[in-house]
């Protein structure tokens, strides 16, 4: 089945997935904390839209529940929490210089290609309209990981972590039209708790080392000196 | 059935109760009683399963067989003994002002929460819930690692959170892939992620997807096991958290993560035509075993040193499960028990030793045997046991593993032996002066409850001298489940 | 034969309409900024005035300086004749495909930069160096986008691209979405609009295009200015042809041609409007941030390519 034979709605789903990938790249390059959080929220929103469309086009209406949880968690709760923390910690104006942006972008592109090749055998086996997006979801996961590696600010690392979660959720949605509901609920609960714990950690780190720069967390070594 | 629900509901209830009254002065005692109740119910559960065979709850959410029930029992036992130790230990920490009432609430609540997630992870039938529970275990313990709020402990907590979070995310992707493969068999059914269903259809699953899934799962849960090179969080989390925490992390969490990997291996390997999962486990296991043995030499913190020892033993077990075959699997299962018991005993003694010396630095802990002979001797005996000396149980299981290795791949015995010798040298190099050295002026004994340590070491000794028939049968049943063939 | 006549008509129309587009954008901008503003046909008056004026040459000017305006203008007109304006299937389409089109622009830019440096003033050299920096970053992105589009439509010829898209039922290609965004950014950079360059000022520190033609007078300046206006129009038509091909005529009958002309008029009208709104809303970027801007364009084009490979090929 060639691309042109897909219905317009399915094409829209694929376009949305590509937009999600774009937001992942934007997250990688974004240096202002507030814009970072906003970009993350928009990624969540695209995810929500994509899930709704998939639910509609595939007739798996239970996906609406997952989409609703995404909306509540990734678009409203987590960004709200992060914004509030950023305000309370007074780091709204913080700008993080992302080291070697072009190298990171190239690495990101390489990761996308890598996930394409990893997902290739899976794609062959699937007959869902969304099978091509499995590679994209894996790329979003890996890009989130790349972001956590390259960033030095605790907030940015958390955003990377949450964006990885987005990728995982997306992977579940596009490869199998969602995990069983009990598992989805469990995952959502874990994300919720993790977000709250991250908030607590911000205060602890701030109180402990006087900054949210995780480069200062350097007292423990593999081999004691 | 009731025993199972009780085993899960007791810690759940206790978690909620302790969130409110965890700072009460008898909370430690209550914690102990709760753990004791959990232990009793899990014992009942073990007896049930042993007499009636495996059990599935209605709704198929939980599935108990010989393999996980013995881990549940070990879990409850180590939880119990750790809570015995934790009562005076935390009381002392409260007295010297390292923690306050709020943190005691957190501690007690999360202690139970952690046990709960471990029990859920072990008993669940749903591979998705397994993931949720293992992630939940991270979330429950992450604030305990940073309980003391020193910069080091916060760093350790953050590292633990981030690294395990990233790692475990890979495992979720692997789980999604398994579900993807399973959906091919019966599309649209939610039951397809159930272990009991998947196991029956494992030969119909798509090999390419499963292979890919296993890579992600091994990396994901391997982070939790502490396999090199994904081990970075482990020594930090063990050394900076409160000692009872280290005991249950080392004794339980690592086991549960390994359990998850083995479950997936049981599922995936029969579907493949090759033995790649085995080889990968052997490779990771061997690497962890050797690297941890070397790094052990360079440690200055007593708890870090023993956490590297944990990595070493987890590597050994992963290696053994990788070899497969009844003998190696039997040995690995036995090693899981004896390692849990020994390591938690050691961490408990280390906790006492650190209180005696007032520090965790190896160079400043001296002359334990003169200051407090009970602590000194148990410390020495525990180290002897973990290093694999006869007549302790660790020797028995390692002996079985080596025999299995000789049978299947003789050329790997040499690196194993060298690794063991290196680790042994590393341990004793540090432990000898701590036990026998000259105690500093004015070093006083502390109030220590030696019961759990002695109990653990006694069990390990017993397992070393003779494995009771009942346990041997039991492990054999588990071995049959894992590799399809028994030893006895 | 009809085709050749039509091609000549089309190219002359392009020459005639280009100043109007520029004037239109300027007029809207003035209105948006609550200024009186010159009428949209002001550029015609300016060009007319410049053509009448005497040419003053710097003493140090070489022949290149004198030839450059003719080359730049000529190359731009040639490029313009390749791009379908209101009809496809013209014989001129066979002259060049879209890669050559990029080459034409590069050739024009090369002489523009040479001319900027020729007289040896500080501003000219600065403008040339900036122009080359921008284009060295913009061209890879543009080519990447062009290749992505070519992969979908199986051709690099503009007319066949447009025809392919017209013949298909409505499709939503993710790669087109990204290429459109990337090409838009590139077009803004290449035509020297805000936020990369401000065509309205001669502010020393920021100017790029104006710095290069600072030494020109009379008809030379008129040709350079006209060339720049043409370039804006060509980019506008290019975006329209590829991403909004509807309305363009595929036969030479009067009615389709009329529709084609009207739709082109509408597209350029809207394009000018959105360009003016964008320029009013944005501030000019520091020159050192331009690489970031073009980096974004490149990433967009790269994502277009990747999403084509990942999502659209089965």
C144, C177, C185, C310: best mutation site toward chain A, by most A Cβ within 10 Å?
Answer: C310
When the pLDDT of each residue in chain C is averaged and rounded to a whole number, the result is 90
The two three-digit tokens of residue B332, written as one number? 């690995």
Over residues C127-186, the pLDDT tens digits come to 999 999 999 999 999 999 999 999 988 888 888 888 888 888 888 899 999 999 999 999
Cβ–Cβ of A198/B176 closer than 8 Å?
no
Cβ–Cβ of B132/A187 closer than 8 Å?
yes
Task: Select from A81, A82, A54, A80 the least CA-distant residue to A67.
Answer: A54
Q: Chains touching chain C at 3 or more Cβ pairs under 8 angstroms?
A: A
What DSSP assignment string belongs to A75-143? Answer: IIIHHHHHHHHHHHTT-TT-B---SSHHHHHHHHHHHHHHHHHHHHHHHHH--STTTTHHHHHHHHHHH
Task: Select from C131, C14, C15, C115 the least CA-distant residue to C69.
Answer: C115
* A100-124 core/surface letters (b: 16 or more CB in 10 A; e: else): ebeebbebbbebbeebbebbeebbe
Nearest beta carbon to residue A3 from set C295, C299, C314: C314
DSSP state of B63: E
Residues 6+ apart with CB under 8 A from C65: C57, C58, C115, C118, C119, C215
For residue A79, give how far its alpha carbon lies from the nearest alpha carbon of chain B (Å).
19
Q: How far apart are CA B397 and CA B409, in angstroms?
A: 18
The pTM of the full predicted model, rounded to 2 decimals, is: 0.91
Q: How far apart are CA B42 and CA B119, in angstroms?
A: 10
For residue B179, give how far its alpha carbon lies from the nearest alpha carbon of chain A (Å).
7
Q: How many CB atoms lie within 10 A of CB C281?
A: 10
Task: Select from B349, B345, B338, B341 the least CA-distant residue to B316.
Answer: B338
Within 128-167 of A, beta carbons closer than 8 Å to B belong to 138, 141, 145, 148, 154, 157, 161, 164-165
For residue B374, give how far its alpha carbon lies from the nearest alpha carbon of chain A (Å).
29
When the pLDDT of each residue in chain B is averaged and rounded to a whole number, the result is 90
**How many residues in chain A?**
225
A-chain residues within 8 Å CB-CB of C310? 112, 116, 132, 135-136
- Return the pLDDT at A1: 58
C-alpha dihedral, A162 to A165 to A167 to A171, nearest 10°: -170
Nearest beta carbon to residue A141 from set B149, B161, B169: B169
- Return the pLDDT at B450: 86
Cβ–Cβ of A21/C307 closer than 8 Å?
yes
The two three-digit tokens of residue C71, written as one number? 């080359």
Sign of the alpha-carbon dihedral angle for A78, A84, A88, A89: positive
Q: Is the peptide bond before B321 cis (omega within 30 degrees of 0)?
A: no
Task: Decide: helix, strand or coil at residue B432.
Answer: helix
Separation in Å, CA B105 to CA A204, B19, C249, C298: 18, 5, 77, 54
Residue extents of the structural domains in chain C: 2-312
Q: Give residue B422's pLDDT band: very low, low, confident or very high (50, 70, 90).
A: very high
Task: Decide: helix, strand or coil at residue A65.
Answer: helix
- Return the pLDDT at B187: 66
Q: Which of A131-145, B89-103, C188-202 has the lowest mean pLDDT?
A: C188-202
β strands within chain C, DSSP E: none
- Residue pair B39/B79 in contact (Cβ under 8 Å)? The answer is yes
Residue of chain A nearest C311, judged by CA positions? A132
Separation in Å, CA B57 to CA B3, B12, B214, B241, C170: 11, 18, 27, 36, 53
Q: Give residue B188's pLDDT band: very low, low, confident or very high (50, 70, 90).
A: low
Phi-psi region of B444 (alpha: psi -120 to 50; beta: other; left: phi over 0): beta
Over residues B102-157, the pLDDT tens digits come to 899 999 999 999 999 999 999 999 999 999 999 999 999 998 999 988 888 999 99
Cβ–Cβ of A204/B154 closer than 8 Å?
yes
Q: Is the ipTM of this complex over 0.90?
A: yes
Nearest beta carbon to residue C171 from set A11, A101, A105: A11
* B69-95 core/surface letters (b: 16 or more CB in 10 A; e: else): bbbbbbbbbbbbbbbbbbbbbbebbbe
The two three-digit tokens of residue B382, written as one number? 């525990």
Residue of chain A nearest C307, judged by CA positions? A18
Separation in Å, CA A3 to CA A131, A171, C172, C314: 12, 20, 10, 7
A-chain residues within 8 Å CB-CB of C168? 4
Q: How far apart are CA C162 and CA C153, in angstroms?
A: 9
- Residue pair B286/B222 in contact (Cβ under 8 Å)? The answer is no
C-chain residues within 8 Å CB-CB of A29? 295-296, 299
| Positions of chain A with pLDDT lower than 50, given as ranges | none
Query: A–C: how many Cβ contacts below 8 A?
Result: 72
What DSSP assignment string belongs to B73-108? Answer: HHHHHHHHHHHHHHHHHHHHHHHTTSS-HHHHHHHH
Over residues C25-79, the pLDDT tens digits come to 999 999 998 988 889 999 999 999 999 999 998 888 899 999 999 999 999 999 9
The two three-digit tokens of residue C244, written as one number? 């909004």
- Return the pLDDT at A224: 60
């Amino acid at each position: 089945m060639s691309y042109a034979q897909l219905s317009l709605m399915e094409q829209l789903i694929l376009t949305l997935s590509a937009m999600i990938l774009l937001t992942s790249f934007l997250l990688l390059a974004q240096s202002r904390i507030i814009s970072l959080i906003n970009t993350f929220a928009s990624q969540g929103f695209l995810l929500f839209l994509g899930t709704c469309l998939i639910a509609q086009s595939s007739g798996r209406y239970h996906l609406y529940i997952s989409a609703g949880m995404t909306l509540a968690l990734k678009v409203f709760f987590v960004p709200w929490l992060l914004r509030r923390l950023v305000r309370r910690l007074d780091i709204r104006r913080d700008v993080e210089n992302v080291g070697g942006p072009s190298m990171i972008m190239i690495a990101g592109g390489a990761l996308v290609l890598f996930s394409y090749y990893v997902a290739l055998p899976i794609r062959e086996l699937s007959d869902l309209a969304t099978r091509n997006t499995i590679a994209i979801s894996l790329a979003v996961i890996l890009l989130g990981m790349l972001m956590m590696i390259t960033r030095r600010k605790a907030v940015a690392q958390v955003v990377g972590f949450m964006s990885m979660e987005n990728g995982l959720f997306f992977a579940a949605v596009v490869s199998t039209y969602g995990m069983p509901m009990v598992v989805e609920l469990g995952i959502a609960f874990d994300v919720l708790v993790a977000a709250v714990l991250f908030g607590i950690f911000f205060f602890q780190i701030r109180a402990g080392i006087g900054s949210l720069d995780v480069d200062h967390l350097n007292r423990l070594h593999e081999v004691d000196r | 059935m009731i025993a199972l629900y009780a085993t899960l509901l007791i810690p759940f209830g206790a978690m909620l109760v302790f969130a409110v009254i965890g700072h009460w002065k008898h909370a430690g005692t209550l914690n102990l009683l709760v753990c004791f109740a959990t232990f009793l119910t899990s014992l009942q559960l073990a007896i049930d399963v042993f007499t009636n065979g495996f059990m599935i709850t209605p709704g198929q959410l939980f599935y108990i067989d010989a393999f996980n029930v013995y881990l549940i029992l070990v879990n409850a036992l180590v939880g119990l003994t750790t809570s015995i130790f934790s009562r005076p230990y935390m009381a002392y920490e409260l007295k010297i002002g390292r923690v306050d009432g709020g943190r005691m609430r957190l501690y007690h609540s999360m202690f139970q929460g952690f046990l709960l997630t471990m029990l859920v992870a072990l008993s669940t039938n749903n591979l998705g819930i397994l993931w949720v529970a293992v992630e939940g275990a991270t979330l429950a313990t992450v604030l305990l690692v940073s309980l003391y709020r020193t910069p080091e402990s916060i760093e350790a907590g953050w590292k633990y959170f981030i690294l395990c979070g990233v790692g475990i995310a890979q495992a979720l992707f692997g789980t999604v892939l398994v579900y993807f493969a399973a959906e091919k068999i019966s599309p649209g059914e939610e039951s397809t992620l159930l272990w009991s269903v998947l196991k029956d259809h494992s030969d119909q699953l798509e090999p390419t997807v499963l292979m890919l899934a296993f890579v992600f799962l091994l990396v994901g849960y391997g982070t939790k096991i502490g396999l090199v090179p994904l081990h970075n969080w482990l020594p930090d989390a063990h050394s900076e958290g409160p000692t009872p925490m280290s005991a249950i992390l080392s004794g339980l969490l690592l086991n549960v993560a390994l359990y998850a990997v083995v479950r997936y291996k049981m599922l995936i390997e029969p579907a493949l035509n090759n033995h790649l999962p085995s080889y990968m486990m052997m490779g990771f296991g061997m690497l962890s075993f050797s690297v941890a043995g070397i790094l052990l030499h360079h440690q200055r913190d007593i708890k870090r040193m023993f956490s590297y020892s944990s990595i070493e033993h987890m590597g050994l077990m992963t290696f053994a499960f990788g070899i497969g075959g009844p003998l190696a699997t039997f040995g690995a299962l036995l090693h899981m028990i004896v390692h849990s018991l020994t390591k938690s005993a050691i961490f408990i003694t280390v906790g006492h030793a650190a209180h005696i010396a007032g520090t965790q630095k190896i160079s400043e802990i001296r002359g334990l045997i003169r200051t407090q002979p009970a602590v000194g001797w148990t410390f020495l005996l525990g180290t002897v046991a973990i290093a694999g000396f006869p007549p302790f149980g660790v020797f028995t299981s390692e002996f079985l593993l080596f025999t299995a290795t000789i049978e299947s791949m003789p050329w790997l015995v040499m690196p194993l032996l060298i690794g063991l010798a290196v680790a042994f040298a590393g341990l004793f190099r540090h432990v000898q002066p701590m036990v026998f050295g000259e105690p500093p002026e004015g070093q006083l004994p502390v109030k220590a409850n030696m019961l759990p340590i002695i109990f653990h070491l006694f069990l390990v000794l017993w397992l070393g001298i003779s494995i009771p028939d009942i346990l041997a049968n039991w492990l054999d049943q588990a071995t049959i489940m894992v590799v399809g063939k028994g030893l006895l | 034969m009809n085709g050749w006549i039509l091609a000549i008509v089309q190219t002359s129309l392009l020459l005639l309409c280009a100043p109007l587009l520029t004037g239109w954008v300027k007029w809207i901008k003035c209105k948006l900024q609550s200024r009186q503003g010159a009428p949209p046909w002001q550029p015609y008056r300016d060009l007319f005035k410049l053509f009448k004026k005497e040419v003053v040459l710097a003493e140090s000017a070489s022949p290149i300086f004198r030839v450059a305006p003719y080359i730049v203008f000529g190359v731009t007109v040639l490029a313009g004749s390749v791009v379908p304006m209101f009809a496809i299937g013209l014989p001129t389409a066979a002259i060049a495909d879209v890669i050559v089109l990029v080459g034409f622009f590069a050739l024009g830019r090369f002489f523009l930069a040479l001319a900027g440096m020729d007289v040896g003033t500080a501003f000219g050299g600065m403008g040339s160096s900036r122009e080359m920096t921008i284009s060295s970053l913009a061209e890879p992105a543009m080519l990447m986008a062009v290749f992505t589009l070519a992969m979908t439509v199986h051709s690099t010829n503009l007319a066949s691209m447009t025809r392919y898209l017209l013949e298909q039922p409505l499709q939503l290609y993710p790669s087109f979405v990204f290429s459109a965004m990337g090409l838009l950014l590139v077009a803004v950079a290449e035509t020297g609009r805000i936020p990369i360059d401000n065509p309205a000022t001669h502010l020393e520190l920021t100017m790029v295009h104006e710095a290069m033609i600072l030494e020109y007078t009379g008809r030379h300046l008129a040709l350079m200015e006209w060339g720049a206006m043409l370039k804006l129009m060509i980019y506008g038509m290019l975006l329209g042809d590829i991403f909004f091909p509807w309305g363009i005529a595929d036969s030479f009958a009067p009615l389709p041609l009329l529709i084609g002309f009207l739709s082109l008029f509408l597209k350029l009208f809207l394009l000018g409007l959105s360009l003016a709104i964008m320029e009013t809303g944005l501030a000019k970027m520091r020159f050192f941030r331009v690489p970031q801007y073009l980096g974004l364009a490149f990433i967009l084009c790269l994502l277009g390519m990747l999403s084509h490979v990942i999502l659209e090929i089965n």
